[in-house]
Amino acid sequence: MVGHAGRREGRMKDIVYAVRGSKTMYEMTWAEVDELRQKTKTVIVSVGSFEQHGTHLPMAADTLQALEIAKDAADMLAEQGMMVAVGPAIPFGVNPGAMPFPGSVSLRPDTLKTLIVEVGLSLKAHGFSNVVLLMGHDENIPAMMVAAQELVHEHGMRVMCLNWLPYLKLHEKKVLDLKGADGHGGAGETARMLARFPELVSLDVALAYTPPPAPPRPELPYAGPPLLGGGVYDPAKDLPGFAPPAHPGIVGDPRLANAEAGEKAYRVTAEWVAEVIKREFF
């Protein structure tokens, strides 16, 4: 396990990390944004959350990870001569199931939809008429899609919603050598946070949780949730019944995480995001 002193040493020297050239709008002055909008009309807006991620990860974990994917994808496109702006991240999402945990903030779906639309219209006013809404938290997807419809049909924009998780799941278990269930705050998320934000990860207090086996049910193709590429959306399952102190608020064993696996996950995910943007906007 990694303690506070070890975390402050930063990333392990034997891991090769991407060299980022793309600045986010958070880091820019208005003059830099003015220069950027002369070069591209495409912007990535990450839609994250502010919620508990167990006893070892920060509340902003979803937003931070989504921003990293956006920056990496922008860098990959820039290497191919295609400029994309990394815009503001929306740091709040729809996460009522997290509310038993102190500090979590949850928006109503309609509030998030309106927020995305207002951000999109602001960006359009500055010349960014192509918007990539990048999923940073699963329960945001329905509101993201409705916001995209409104921006396209009522305001003449081009807007896409990208859910990268099904593609990542094709690779993640192999990279992490996972045998059991893994999800919110588990080894996958922890690995990605270790890769880029080791100072925010407290593995020394991490707790594992294995959900009880589900009752046997008939296997049906594509009968899982849209988050994982399925065709069945059941909002009741957004309320998992997690509550402290009996439940740590995660699924999986974060102690199986390592920074190298997290870096590989970012690379795989950003490559997919970059290829979709390239196909649709260039």
Q: How confident is the model at residue 148 (pLDDT cuts 50, 70, 90)?
A: very high
Give the mean pLDDT of 190-219. Answer: 92
What pairs with residue 93 in β-bridges?
A: 106
pLDDT of res. 21: 67
Spell out the domain ranges in the chain. Answer: 4-210+231-281
CATH (residue range 4-210+231-281)? 3.40.50.10310
Token match 């934000």: residue? 197
Tens digits of residue pLDDT in 21-56: 678 999 999 999 999 999 999 999 999 999 999 999
Q: What backbone torsions phi and psi does residue 149 show, to the nearest 5 degrees?
A: -60, -45
Q: Which one, of 152, 214, 190, lies nearest residue 64 by Cα?
A: 190
Spacing of C-alpha 29 from chain mean position? 25
Share the mean pLDDT of the chain. 90
Q: Which one, of 138, 160, 119, lies nearest residue 25 by Cα?
A: 119
pTM: 0.90
CB 181 within 8 A of CB 155: no
Tokens matching residue 145: 């899609």
Cis omega (within 30 of 0) for bond into 245 = yes
pLDDT of res. 14: 35
DSSP string, 115-148: HHHHHHHHHHHTT--EEEEEESSGGGHHHHHHHH
Give the mean pLDDT of 151-164. Answer: 98
First to last CA, the chain: 45
Give the mean pLDDT of 225-252. Answer: 88
